[in-house]
Structures are given as C-alpha cells and as structure tokens.
Chains A and B, each alone.
Chain A
Amino acid sequence: MELNIYHLYPEHLNLYGDLGNVNCLKRRCLERGIEVNVVNFTDDEKPDLNDGDIFFIGGGSDRAQQLVYKDFLQYKDVLKELIEEGRAVLAVCGGYQLLGTSFIDKQGNNIPGLSILDYESKYTGDKRIIGNIIIETTLNLEPNKLVGFENHGARTYSKYQPLGNVLVGRGNNDDDMKEGIVYKNYIGTYLHGPVLPKNPHLADHLILQALRNKYGDVESLEPLDDEIENKAYEKFIKLYGK
C-alpha cells in the first residue's frame, strides 16, 4: 500500500513545530510497511491535488497566511471537492482558520478566508488564548482524549461537529467549550504540540481513513511500539488534567 501526504505551503506555514505532524504520519506508515510520498505544495510547485491521500496545512504568521490565501484561491474548489469526497485532511490553527469563511489580520481586521467550509474565525477584542488544552474527542478513538497547546487570537464559531469538548483550556471560542471541527474526514483544530506525535491515535485515525478511501475495507492498523508516546501523553494528563 502507498499513501501520498500533501503538505501545503511548508515554506510559509511552519510555526510551532507543526512539521512534526507530517513526520508523524510518514513514520507511522513506514513502520507498518505502507509506502509514503511526502509531496510539498508550494508557491513554486503545484502538484495535482487529486493525487493526495492525506493533506496537512499548518499555521504561519499573519503575513504568511495572507500570501497563502492569495496563492491558493484558484485551487480552493479542487480541495473543497476532495473534502466532500472524504479525503483525509488535517488543518491546524492558522490553516484551520484559512479554510473557513473569515479570519483576522494582525490589526484584528476581519479578512475573507478560502470559504472551503462554512465556519468563521473573528476578532472579539478579547485576549489571545494561550495554554495547555485537553479535549474529549467526538471521534471514536481509544483513548478518547486529545492533548495539545493552543495559541490563537481569533475565536472560531461553527455549526459542524466539534473535534472535541474542552476539558481543560478554551478551544474554538470563549462560549461553547468546543474545540475544532470534524466534517467527513476533514479535521480542523487549534491543537499544537505538534498534535499528531502527541496523540498517535489521531494520526492513526487519519491514516486509516486514507487507506480505506484508497483500498476499500482496511479493518485496522497494526499496533506500534508507542511506549514513549504513551508516557508523554500520560505525563501531560497528569500535569494538566483536572
């Protein structure tokens, strides 16, 4: 089996160690004998998005996000269709905001997003949300918690299924104690960490969905030696769980 992991704009959207998410997907595939091609989609290189099995888009500075917004406008319909089709996509923080209908610039002005999905991120005048976060995920995962670090100024409001209910921290906004969104196999989230190495069960969820899309009935993934991953996860919950 073989998966193409598309990394969108790694040259611009590379804050908070989120490159680790791509490494994690790659590593967990290779350890199971699944071949992997990591394909960068950049300013200069525009490989066919239809060939992607898992897509990752991270966050960058305000300036970088606006560059990406302009450059990606003409490709957004392709990605939108792929999401509707059920391709596996992970969007973190700035990338998460970018795919919605609006986000904010450095001065707090609302600016249009790619409108691939119908949720908005806006400036409320409240302080930036920064800190450790633990959510109970709505996905059927074992264990059922996800851990990470959130760091965002904008508040996101959506009617989609959330990625999780916030146990510790803030999540999308100050009101509903929800974090992220799930739509088909699209996951948008504010969780850094990077989120996948810290939550290998979420990484495996994306890999499994991608394999099922491509190869039909894949029952489950072979378990891996996650001793260190589990220790880091348990330590986090011990330190910051209620």
Chain B
Amino acid sequence: MVNVRSMIALYAGKFSKQVLKLINSSGTALPGKLALRIDNNFLDNIEEKCDTVIMVTGTNGKTTTNNLLNHVIGTRTDKILSNLKGANMIQGIATTYVNNTKDHYDYGIFEVDEGTLRSVTRYVKPDYILVSNFFRDQLDRFGEIDNLVEDVYTTIEKLPESTLILNVDDPLVNKFTQLPNKIIKFGLDLDLDEVQNSSLSMKNCPLCEGKLQYSSHVYGHFGNYECDKCGFKRPNPDFVVSNLEEKASSQMITIDYGDEELVFEYPYTGIYNAYNVLGVFTVCKQLGLSDDEIVSAMGDFSFHLGRMEEMEYKGKIIKVILTKNPIGLTQVINMISNDERSKTVVHILNDNPADGEDISWIWDAYTICEREETVLHYYCSGIRAEDIALKKKYDNVPLDKIKINDNFKEIIDTAIEDDVEIVYVLPTYTAVFETRDYIENVVKSN
C-alpha cells in the first residue's frame, strides 16, 4: 500500500540526510525526526517491510547484542534493517528506515531504549523481545528504576504475540515470566563470589516486600536468588552457561540447552559479554540457526563504535570502552583488573543530557584496579574531569597517579605516549564517538 504522506516523509528524511552529509554531520536522529513530523505513523512502514522483527531492550549491552545479532544472522542474509549505531530512541529508529534501500527485509533488528519501547511498539509489533537487564542508569531521566521496569512491563502486556527472551539472572527481568507470552529464559549458572557492593545489589523481591536470598552470585543483582516471603525465585533457564573460562583476550564458554552441550571460544572478555553472547545464541536458536553457524560467526566478530574497540599505536593497544553507568564501569574495571599487562587508564566523564546530567552514578561504582602496580596513570578528563578524579581519590588511588585535564584531546595525546602495553580509554556516551574518531585520526596520521 502506497501512502502518500509516508512517501513524502521518507523523501524529506532522505533529503535532510543529504544536507547533513554536505555539512559533514552524521546526525542519526534528525532525518527520522523530520519524517515523523510529517507522518507520525511513519514507523508502520517497518513492520510492513520486515518479515521478522527482533527488539533488544534493557539497560546494558543493547548495542553490543544488536551488533552481534546482526553479525551472526548476517551470515544467512544481507536483508537486515537495523539501527547498528546505537540510535535507539524513536527518531533514531525512524532514521534507520529513512536510510533503508531495499524493498523487503528478512529481519528488522533494533535496539530500543527502555523508555522508548512503549512508543515504538505502538507502530512496530516485534516477534521477539530480548530483555537483558535493568540497572540504575540515568535516573534523572527516568525517575526511578521501579517506574522504568513497570513501564516496560505494562508495554509488553500489550504485546501478547511477542516471544520474550529473558535474562532470568536479573530478578527485575524474571518478573516478566509472569506474563502470558511465550517465554525463553537464559542465565549463567556461575558463582563468581565477587565482593557484593550493597548499592549495586537489589535485595528486595520485585513482587512482594520479601528479601531475596542469593545462593550464588554473578555480579550486581544477578545470581540464583529466592524470595524468603513469596517464593519468587530464579527459574531454571532454557539456555544456560554452565562454565566460563576467562582468558587474556578471549572466553571459553559452555552453553547447555535441551540435551545439548556446546563449548566454544570467542575473542572478547568481560562477564557481561557472556550475557550478550548467551542472549544472541538464544535468539538465533529461535530463528533456526545451527550451532555451527552461530559459533563460527561469533568467533570472527569484532567490536566497533567504541564498544571494546581496539586500535594500535606505536606497538601498544588502545582500547576504547563505553562506560555509562555504575555496573558497566565496575565490570569494565574488573576486566581491566584481570589484565596483567602494564597499562594506563583514561576516564572521560561528560554530563550532557544523553550521559545523564547527574554524575553521582560514579559513586556507585568501584574504580580502582587490582594489580595497582601495573597501572601507570589514571587520566581524568571530560566536562566533569575533576569529579571522576575525586572519586579516584576516594577509591584510594595514589594521588600521584591521577592526572586531571578537561580537554580530552590533550589528555589522549599524553596518555597514548605512556610507556605501557595497553591504554584503556573509558568515555561516557556523548564522549565515545568523538574520542574514538580522535584516536583513529591520531593512529592513522602516525
């Protein structure tokens, strides 16, 4: 069905994209915003064009999961429509459609901001929704995590046809198993016994006022829990990681499902990536991909867009990792702690609206690396450079290792000349693109 208003909206969007290109701006939201202004049902087109629609939502891991899903499913078909660059608000998703070039897509794969799921699913009904986790993230935008979970829950209540792929290690996600939808559960049967930071863990049952007792613990509020009052507990997952071996630059994972047990290795680290891998594996099995297809595709996935991206400069590695909330930052610091190489760590902390204007979240993270002797410097930069430096001080980092400069270019110029094997650069959301682009330029011009 050709809808004239929708066509005009599409071409207006495309035109604005050309203009943006001329003025050398990447603008991921504007073309979509314009199209939605002209035709507020513009997103209806997506459902019409895509056979199968998958949405990924939750606090952490959306962009990585989306990119990994694209990569694995991409071995089967090139007809995929997706917002790979992390523009996950309604305008960003509309822009994805503005940019589309094909008449038909086998898959539409979208990461959708938790606060945006309601408005997007008004137009596009997903066949699958992967809910990864709920952590404190930019509370100044959402108010409170309870409200956010409630909002996603009541949104999905209106989508009874969608199959839910749920990380049941998170009690807040497990709550969604109460819905009548078809449900596939995934989780990690691991006890990592890390120090439990009280502010990162949730101890109350999401259904009643009872307390959650953990028999094992992965990180944050992930683990094997049971409510001492109503009996709400983590169910046995359909897809489960039964073993995980962390290596210097890879992980060896064991996934059990049905009667199958599968062991394979992929070149990325960090426990949170085991969740991303398992989530993607679970989705791909629903789509009918074979174990071999999934495993071989996962082995050659490379991160980009500042999510674990690596670049080389004068024989050392520069690794850019987005860190935007306490659990993410803590997990990245854990990963860096496992790295025995000599290193320098660069924090770039911004407080623009998209980062969350309230930077108090850094106080809920641990920022000190173990193997302190392998860290040469902690550089603190970004608009709120001094604040991350203050947190470092409170985490008992030796003061002579802390260097403050709010100009991120100057600090990167200095940091990459440090005599170390690896430079970790940890920008917040609004810093990630310009940081990686700046480093790429420096690396290339060398």
Contacts and interface: CB of A to CB of B under 8 A. Distances in A.
Contact of B363 (A20, A128, A231): A20
A16 interface: yes
Nearest to B361: A17
Given A17-B363, A231-B389, A192 B199 contact: no
Given A62-B146, A106-B147, A228-B402, A17 B199 contact: yes
Contacts of B316: none
Contacts of B406: 235
B360 A67 contact: no
Interface stretch (B27-35, B136-144, B420-428): B136-144
Interface string B381-422: 001111101100110000100101010000000000000000
Contacts, number: 94
A54 B70 CA distance: 54
B198 A10 contact: yes
B204 A64 contact: yes
B358 A228 contact: no
A162 interface: no
B49 interface: no
Contacts of A12: 204
From A24, A61, A64, A228, name the one whose CB has the most chain B CB atoms within 10 angstroms.
Answer: A228
A15 interface: yes
B118 interface: no
Contacts of B261: none
B166 interface: no
A190 B3 CA distance: 51
Contacts of A231: 386, 389, 404
A106 B146 contact: yes
B139 A19 contact: no
A67 B363 contact: no
Interface centre among B211, B358, B359, B364 (most CB of A within 10 A): B358
Nearest to B385: A235
A24 to B, nearest CB: 8
Nearest to B383: A239
B357 to A, nearest CB: 7
B209 interface: yes
Nearest to A64: B204
Contact of B140 (A27, A151, A198, A235): A151
A23 B404 CA distance: 22
Contacts of B139: 15-16, 151
Contacts of A106: 144, 146-147
A24 B360 CA distance: 14
Given A27-B394, A61-B145, A229-B390, A16 B198 contact: no
A146 B204 CA distance: 34
A131 B386 contact: no
B358 A197 contact: no
Which of B136, B143, B383, B399 has its CB near the most chain A CB atoms (within 10 A)?
B143
Contact of A67 (B209, B362, B402): B209
B362 A17 contact: yes
Interface in B307-360: 357-360
Nearest to B136: A15
B404 A193 contact: no
Contact of B360 (A10, A62, A192): A192
For A18, A20, A67, A198, the residue with the greatest tally of chain B CB atoms inside 10 Å of its CB is A20
Interface string A132-167: 100000000000000001010100000000000000
A34 interface: no
B71 interface: no
B144 A62 contact: yes
B203 interface: yes
Interface string B362-392: 1110000000000000000001111101100
A101 interface: no
A151 B358 contact: yes
Interface in B51-97: none
Nearest to A227: B399
Interface of B: 136, 139-140, 143-147, 198-199, 203-204, 209, 211, 357-364, 383-387, 389-390, 393-394, 399, 402, 404, 406
The 9 closest A-B pairs by CB, nearest first: A17-B363, A232-B386, A17-B360, A20-B363, A231-B386, A14-B199, A16-B360, A149-B358, A235-B386
Given A17-B364, A62-B146, A149-B357, 18 more contacts: A16-B358, A17-B360, A17-B362, A18-B360, A18-B363, A19-B364, A43-B211, A61-B146, A106-B144, A132-B357, A149-B140, A153-B143, A228-B390, A228-B399, A228-B404, A231-B389, A231-B404, A235-B385
Interface of A: 10-12, 14-20, 23-24, 27, 43, 61-64, 67, 106, 128, 130-132, 149, 151, 153, 192-194, 197-198, 228-229, 231-232, 235, 239
11 contacts: A20-B360, A128-B143, A192-B360, A193-B360, A194-B363, A197-B363, A228-B399, A228-B402, A231-B389, A232-B384, A235-B387
